[in-house]
Structure 1
């Protein structure tokens, strides 16, 4: 078991630094886009997403940024909310609309180069297609929610004006300095929260053996026995239980585990279902390990909790729907 200092320096610190840099990039880009009036230019490309959801055009910039960096896209939304362009309801809907575009990035960085080669072309495309469908469905829910819940909303169009009416235009140096100052100010409010929450999470994970010992003392010393009824409920054989169990901790290892079983032990559909069930059950671990530190760091505990609840509930709902489709078809 690593020492407390080792956990903080080797696990928490690199994650905090990486995410802080990405958030800084997102907030900085948002401030520069505002300073130079680029928000309106980029927003034209995203208006087909923002208009149906009754979101301000500037949100299209953050939505499209998600296809490159989810963290930077969230950083932009956080800046728009900080500038009072978005209220809490509009921000939540914007977060939901972002979902599919955040997934697009992972197609090129993870699903395509990693999972498809492991699972094989057929099963790999089936699984990636299922995950893409889940993300797209969530985005469509966001568009529908915006169309209904944000109807008639009026946004403060002056919130992101590069120069207030009546003011003399600023020089490039002044714009860059102001954008930099605003970015540093925003990071000063975010980074301490990131550091505290990530430190607590990684320390808890490092000492998780004590948690497992507590489960064992309660008679739950075989997690597979808990998952077996879940596998049976969706028609999976007992051989799928190890896949689900491994996927709880690491989806890549889950794919590696299921790959040799495809064709002989599990059908392609059963392999995809096993991975989806694993991803459904692992939502709790993913929330504790990634979502809580990230969302609390960006939004604070109160609004961050709302974002987490909305994201987790929508993901769980559509994963269940997708599993149902594979089981019934």
Structure 2
């Protein structure tokens, strides 16, 4: 077992530094876009997403940014909320709409180059299609929620206007300096939260054996005992249980584990259901390991909790829908 210092230096610190750089890039781009008036230009494309949801056109910039970097996209939304362009309700709806566009990035960075070769073309495309449908369904819920809940909302059109004295002409250096100053101020409020929460989470994961002892104390001596009923309910063979358990820790390893079983032990549909069940069960670990530190770091504990509840609730609901579709098909 690693020492506390090694966990903080080898696990927490690299993650905090990486996310800080990405958030800084997102917030910095948002500030530069405001300084140069680019938000309005990009928003013309994003308006097709924001108009149906009654969101200001500037939000389209953040939504489209998610296709390149989810962290940068969230950073831009955080900046819009901080500047008063969005209130909490509008921000939550924007976050939900972001879901599919964040998934698009992962098609090119993870699902396509990693999972499809592991699972094979048929099962790989079936699983990626299922995940795409889940993400798209969540985004459509966001659009519908905005159309209903944000009807009649009025936004401050000057919330993102750079503050400049009348008749003052600012140079490129002035604009970059203003954007840099605003970005650093935002990071000063985010980075300490990131450092604290990530440190706590990684230390908790390192000493996770205490959790297993607690489970044993309530009668669950083997993790498989909690998964067996789920697999049985869906008619999955016993070989699916280890895959689900492995997926709790690492989805890629879960895919590697299920691949040799396709055709002989599991049908393509059963393989996809197994991976979906694994992703559903692993939501808890993913929330603790990634969502809580990330969302708390960006939004703070209060609003971050709302974002996590909405994200996890919608994701769980649509994963269940996807499982039901494959089960009935």
Q: TM-score, normalised by structure 1?
A: 0.99
Compute the displacement of 1:192 (Å). Answer: 0.2
Compute the displacement of 1:164 (Å). Answer: 5.4
* Aligned equivalents of 1:219, 1:147: Cα separation in 2: 48
Compute the displacement of 1:162 (Å). Answer: 3.6
For the pair 1:66 / 2:66, whether they are aligned, the reply is yes
- The answer on whether the counterparts of 1:248 and 1:279 sit within 8 Å (CA) in structure 2 is yes
Compute the displacement of 1:163 (Å). Answer: 5.2
Compute the displacement of 1:173 (Å). Answer: 1.1
Compute the displacement of 1:165 (Å). Answer: 8.1
Deviation string for 1:179-218 (max 9, x for gaps)? 0000000000000000000000000000001211221233
* Aligned equivalents of 1:246, 1:160: Cα separation in 2: 46
Q: Which runs of 5+ in 1 are unaligned?
A: none
Deviation string for 1:161-181 (max 9, x for gaps)? 245584523221111101000
Q: Which residue of 2 aligns with 1:176?
A: 176
- The answer on whether the counterparts of 1:26 and 1:75 sit within 8 Å (CA) in structure 2 is yes
**Secondary structure, in 3 states, of the residue corresponding to 1:54?**
coil
* Aligned equivalents of 1:207, 1:251: Cα separation in 2: 21
Q: CA RMSD in A?
A: 1.0
Q: Which residue of 1 aligns with 2:14?
A: 14
Deviation string for 1:9-33 (max 9, x for gaps)? 0000000000000000000000000
Q: Which residue of 1 aligns with 2:262?
A: 262
* Aligned equivalents of 1:88, 1:37: Cα separation in 2: 25
* Aligned equivalents of 1:51, 1:228: Cα separation in 2: 46
For the pair 1:123 / 2:110, whether they are aligned, the reply is no
**Would you say how many aligned residue pairs link Structure 1 and Structure 2?**
329
Q: Which residue of 1 aligns with 2:50?
A: 50
* Aligned equivalents of 1:140, 1:233: Cα separation in 2: 30
* Aligned equivalents of 1:280, 1:154: Cα separation in 2: 38
Q: Which residue of 1 aligns with 2:39?
A: 39
For the pair 1:24 / 2:20, whether they are aligned, the reply is no
* Aligned equivalents of 1:223, 1:296: Cα separation in 2: 29
Q: Which runs of 5+ in 2 are unaligned?
A: none
**Secondary structure, in 3 states, of the residue corresponding to 1:238?**
coil
Deviation string for 1:22-73 (max 9, x for gaps)? 0000000000000000000010111100000010000000000000000000
Q: Which residue of 2 aligns with 1:271?
A: 271
Q: Which residue of 2 aligns with 1:305?
A: 305
Q: Which residue of 1 aligns with 2:229?
A: 229
* Aligned equivalents of 2:169, 2:76: Cα separation in 1: 24
Any residues of structure 2 matched to 1:139-154 within 5 Å, and which? 139-154=139-154
**Secondary structure, in 3 states, of the residue corresponding to 2:57?**
coil
